[in-house]
Amino acid sequence: MADSGELVQTRRHGRVLEVRICREERRNAVDRRVADGLDAAFNLLEDDPKLWVGVLTGTGRVFSAGSDLTAGGDYVTERGGAYGLVRRQRRKPLIAAVEGAALGGGLELVLACDLVVASTSARFGLPEVKLGLVARCGGLFRGPRALPVNLAREMVLTGDPIDAQRAHAHGLVNRLTAPGHALPTALELADRICDNSPSAVRASLAAMDAVLSGDDPAAWAATEKADADALAAPDAAEGVAAFLEHRRPRWTSA
């Protein structure tokens, strides 16, 4: 495993770049260092003509719990946006390989990928409302694109996760595997893509993205308004404080 920073590691598998978040003691939560490592890895994927496909994964027990709440929102990069990925203009396919929890920004990392492979240990959720916050990194509009609208609403409004089987049944997950097999299966899927013309793959991906992301400016604007409204209420500070203090929040907003 070649280091691109101790918290984000990369490995080449021929024309495929594996990108791994390695901060398991903090549930692979993203802070400045992790964001910079991810940004560097995805810059490498995009800029190296020998690399055709990327695979993003976490560690054996967790994909990512999303934002490190102690980072104060300091996880935005110039080229990739939040986490080095969620607003990146990509040309090459990216596959998420998920073991364990992909929650909050972790799910938003998954939603920023093109394909998803998950083991039966995986869970997907957007728990921000439990903290008095909103899903600010694409979950409010990419979720309803990847899942039935009412299921996406349920996840956003309750903050409760769904398991990998339900995510697979509703189309979020392309391949469902036994625990420990998400990454090998994702690498096999990446190799299948690499069997094809890279120019045709990129042209096809660009065409699909142009259709699917056509309303992104309005979607980001709506997300930013929701984020500002949530942060203006006292519940946001209380929710984060309660989480960090391991207690139930005391909501005051009406």
Domain ranges of the chain: 2-180+194-210
- Residue 253: per-residue pLDDT: 80
CATH code of the region 2-180+194-210: 3.90.226.10
Q: Which of 18, 46, 99, 108 is catalytic?
A: 108
Active site residue 188: no
Q: Which of 18, 128, 188, 224 is catalytic?
A: 128
Q: Would you say how long the chain is, in residues?
A: 254
pLDDT digits (tens, 9 = 90+) for 175-189: 999 999 999 999 999
Phi, psi of 35 (to 5 degrees): -60, -45
- How many other CB atoms are there within 10 angstroms of residue 238's CB atom? 17
Query: In the chain, which residues have pLDDT < 50?
Result: 1-4
Q: Three-state DSSP class for 252?
A: coil
- Residue 222: per-residue pLDDT: 97
pLDDT digits (tens, 9 = 90+) for 111-122: 999 999 999 999
Active site residue 78: no
Calculate the alpha carbon distances from 189 to 116, 117, 181, 230, 236 in Å.
10, 9, 12, 40, 40
